[in-house]
C-alpha cells in the first residue's frame, strides 16, 4: 500500500524489474532471464487485483523472452529489458495525459463532479479541465478504510479546484446535486464490468438511481484479457486492522471484521469508459480487448503489424507468450 493506484503500481513494478537487471549480477543471459521470471512472479503477487501489474510485467518479460530465445548476449539482454521498461513507463504516462485531455472535454462549466478513492487518471481529467479554464465543483468521498479520498481532495485543492470531502455514507445525500461521477479502475473485464476501490459499486447504484452519469477513466493496460476466457479478477482481501484498532478487535474477538479492498461495478451502471484510445460504452470493451490482445491460444500478431501501433498496443500484442 506504499504505492497506490493501478497505473503507479504498474510503473513501480516495471521500475523494480529494471533495477533488478541493472543491480544484480548474472553470469549469462539465461541466468538473467530465469531470475527475471522469478522476480516478475513475486511482483505479480503484490497486488492481485490491479491487472495493470501483470500486463506491465508480461510486457517486459516477453521482450526479455524474445531476446533470450535468440540467445543474445547478457549486455544486449539488459539493454533490451531497459528499453522495454522505459517504453512501458513512457507510454503509461502518455496514456494518463491523453485520458486527461479526452476526459476534460466531458466536463462543462458549473458541473458538480463526484469521485471516489484516488485515481491518477481521474485527477488528471479534473486538473486538465480546470487548467482549460472550466470552473466546477468536486465532491470526494473519503474512501474508508484507507482514506485515499483525502489524497485526492488535497491534490485537487492544491491545484486550485473547489473541493469538498464527504464520508462515503453521505454519497446518496449529495448525489442529487452531482452531474457526473468519475472513477478509476484497477481492472476492466471483457463484459465491461469495472473493478475499482471498494465502495465504487454502491456509488454506481446511487448514480443510476439519480440518473447521474457514471464514467470510468482508465488506461487500456487495465483491460483483463483472461476475462475473455471466463476467468474472474481476484479481489484482494486486506487485514482487519485497517478497519478497526487492535484494541477493539482484541476485546471483540467474536466479531469477524472483513475488508475486501475492491468491488465490481456491472456494465449496466456505467455510461462510458474513457481510455487513451478514445471513449467507449462498457459493451465496447470486448471489441477493444480483441483488437489489443490476441486470443491466448492464437500466436501474437507479427511485428510489422505491431510497428504501426502505439508502444502499449505492441505491449499487448506480445503479452504472455
Ligand atoms: C486505488 C484505486 C484507484 C485505481 C485507479 O486503490 O482503486 O481508483 O487503482 O487508479 P489502492 P489510477 O489505493 O488500493 O491502490 O487511475 O491511479 O491507476
Confidence of residue 24 (pLDDT cuts 50, 70, 90): confident
Whole-angstrom Cα distance, residue 126 to residue 267? 23
Query: If DSSP codes are grouped into helix, strand and coil, which group holds residue 114?
Result: strand
Q: What is the DSSP string of 164-226?
A: EEE-GGGHHHHHTT-SEEEE--SEE-TTS-EEEETTHHHHHHHHHHTT-EEEEE--GGGB-GG
The active-site residue out of 21, 85, 117, 168 is 117
Instruction: Give the atom of ligand 1 at the shortest distance from the alpha carbon of 196.
Output: 7
Instruction: Give the atom of ligand 1 at the shortest distance from the alpha carbon of 148.
Output: 13
Is pLDDT of 173 > 80? yes
Is pLDDT of 307 > 60? no
Taking the centre of ligand 1 as the mean of its atom positions, its distance from the CA of residue 6, in whole angstroms, is 5
The active-site residue out of 21, 85, 168, 186 is 186
pLDDT for 206-234, tens place per residue?
A: 999 999 999 999 999 999 999 999 999 99
Instruction: Give the atom of ligand 1 at the shortest distance from the alpha carbon of 236.
Output: 14
- Strands 180-183 vs 194-197: parallel, antiparallel or unpaired: unpaired
Mutate to test the pocket of ligand 1, among 1, 3, 4, 150 (most ligand atoms within 8 A of CB): 4
Whole-angstrom Cα distance, residue 229 to residue 296? 9
Query: If DSSP codes are grouped into helix, strand and coil, which group holds residue 271?
Result: coil
Q: What mean pLDDT value characterizes the chain?
A: 91
The finding on whether 145 has its CB within 6 A of some atom of ligand 1 is no
Mutate to test the pocket of ligand 1, among 185, 216, 262 (most ligand atoms within 8 A of CB): 185
pLDDT for 239-293, tens place per residue?
A: 999 999 999 999 999 999 999 999 999 999 999 999 999 999 999 999 999 999 8
CA-proximal residue: ligand 1, atom 7 (nearest):
197
DSSP lists the bridge partners of residue 214 as 181
CA-proximal residue: ligand 1, atom 13 (nearest):
4
Q: Closest Cα to residue 188, out of 56, 283, 315?
A: 283
pLDDT for 290-304, tens place per residue?
A: 999 876 544 433 333
85 catalytic? Reply is no
DSSP lists the bridge partners of residue 183 as 216
Taking the centre of ligand 1 as the mean of its atom positions, its distance from the CA of residue 304, in whole angstroms, is 34
302 catalytic? Reply is no
Is pLDDT of 190 > 60? yes
Confidence of residue 33 (pLDDT cuts 50, 70, 90): very high
pLDDT for 102-144, tens place per residue?
A: 999 999 999 999 999 999 999 999 999 999 999 999 999 999 9
Give residues with Cβ within 8 angstroms of 125, minimum separation 6: 99, 100, 103, 104, 106, 107, 182, 217, 274
Question: Percent of the chain beyond pLDDT 70?
Answer: 92
The finding on whether 18 has its CB within 6 A of some atom of ligand 1 is no
Are the C-beta atoms of residues 223 and 292 closer than 8 Å to each other?
yes
The finding on whether 6 has its CB within 6 A of some atom of ligand 1 is yes
In our burial notation (b when 16+ CB lie closer than 10 A, e otherwise), range 179-216 reads: bbbbbbbbbbbbebbbbbbbbbbbbbebbbeeebbbbb
CA-proximal residue: ligand 1, atom 6 (nearest):
5
Taking the centre of ligand 1 as the mean of its atom positions, its distance from the CA of residue 261, in whole angstroms, is 10
Is pLDDT of 78 > 70? yes
Question: Which strands, in side-by-side order, build the sheet including 162-166?
Answer: 162-166, 137-141, 112-116, 180-183, 213-217, 272-275, 278-280
Is pLDDT of 311 > 70? no
Give residues with Cβ within 8 angstroms of 133, minimum separation 6: none
Going along the chain from its start, the domains and CATH numbers come out as 6-95 (1.20.120.420), 98-320 (3.40.50.10470)
Instruction: Give the atom of ligand 1 at the shortest distance from the alpha carbon of 262.
Output: 7
Are the C-beta atoms of residues 269 and 204 closer than 8 Å to each other?
yes
Q: What is the DSSP letter of 279?
A: E
The finding on whether 199 has its CB within 6 A of some atom of ligand 1 is no
Is pLDDT of 310 > 60? no
Are the C-beta atoms of residues 157 and 132 closer than 8 Å to each other?
no
**pTM of the model as a whole:** 0.91
Q: pLDDT at position 295, please?
A: 64
Whole-angstrom Cα distance, residue 51 to residue 264? 14
Measured CA distances, 216 to 86, 91, 92, 116, 266 (Å): 27, 20, 17, 11, 12
Question: Which strands, in side-by-side order, build the sheet including 187-188?
Answer: 187-188, 194-197, 262-265
Taking the centre of ligand 1 as the mean of its atom positions, its distance from the CA of residue 106, in whole angstroms, is 21
Are the C-beta atoms of residues 60 and 83 closer than 8 Å to each other?
no
Instruction: Give the atom of ligand 1 at the shortest distance from the alpha carbon of 261.
Output: 14
Q: pLDDT at position 319, please?
A: 34
Residue owning grid cell 470531502: 165
Whole-angstrom Cα distance, residue 122 to residue 183? 6
Amino acid at each position: 500500500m506504499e504505492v497506490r493506484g493501478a497505473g503507479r503500481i504498474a510503473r513501480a513494478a516495471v521500475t523494480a524489474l529494471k533495477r533488478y537487471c541493472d543491480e544484480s549480477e548474472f553470469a549469462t543471459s539465461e541466468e538473467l532471464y530465469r531470475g527475471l521470471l522469478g522476480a516478475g512472479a513475486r511482483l505479480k503477487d503484490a497486488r492481485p487485483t490491479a491487472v495493470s501489474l501483470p500486463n506491465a510485467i508480461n510486457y517486459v518479460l516477453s521482450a526479455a523472452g524474445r531476446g533470450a530465445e535468440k540467445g543474445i548476449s547478457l549486455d544486449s539482454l539488459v539493454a533490451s529489458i531497459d528499453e522495454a521498461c522505459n517504453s512501458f513507463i513512457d507510454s503509461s504516462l502518455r496514456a494518463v495525459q491523453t485520458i486527461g485531455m479526452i476526459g476534460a472535454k466531458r466536463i462543462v462549466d458549473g458541473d458538480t463532479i463526484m469521485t471516489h478513492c484516488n485515481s491518477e487518471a481521474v485527477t488528471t481529467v479534473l486538473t486538465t479541465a480546470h487548467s482549460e479554464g472550466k470552473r466546477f465543483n468536486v465532491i470526494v468521498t473519503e474512501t474508508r478504510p484507507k482514506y485515499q479520498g483525502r489524497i485526492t481532495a488535497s491534490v485537487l485543492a492544491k491545484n486550485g479546484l473547489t473541493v469538498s470531502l464527504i464520508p462515503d455514507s453521505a454519497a446518496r445525500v449529495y448525489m442529487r446535486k452531482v452531474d457526473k461521477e468519475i472513477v478509476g479502475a484497477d481492472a476492466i473485464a471483457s463484459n465491461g464490468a469495472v473493478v475499482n476501490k471498494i465502495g465504487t459499486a454502491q456509488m454506481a447504484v446511487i448514480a443510476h438511481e439519480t440518473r447521474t452519469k457514471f464514467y470510468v477513466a482508465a488506461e487500456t493496460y487495465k483491460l483483463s484479457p483472461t476475462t475473455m476466457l471466463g476467468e474472474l479478477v481476484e479481489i484482494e482481501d486486506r487485514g482487519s486492522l485497517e478497519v478497526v484498532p487492535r484494541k477493539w478487535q482484541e476485546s471483540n474477538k467474536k466479531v469477524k471484521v472483513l475488508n475486501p479492498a475492491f468491488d465490481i461495478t456491472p456494465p449496466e451502471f456505467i455510461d462510458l469508459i474513457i481510455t487513451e484510445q478514445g471513449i467507449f460504452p462498457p459493451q465496447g470493451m470486448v471489441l477493444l480487448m480483441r483488437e489489443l490482445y490476441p486470443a491466448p491460444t492464437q500466436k501474437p500478431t507479427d511485428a510489422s503489424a505491431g510497428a504501426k501501433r502505439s508502444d502499449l498496443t505492441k505491449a499487448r500484442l506480445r503479452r504472455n507468450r
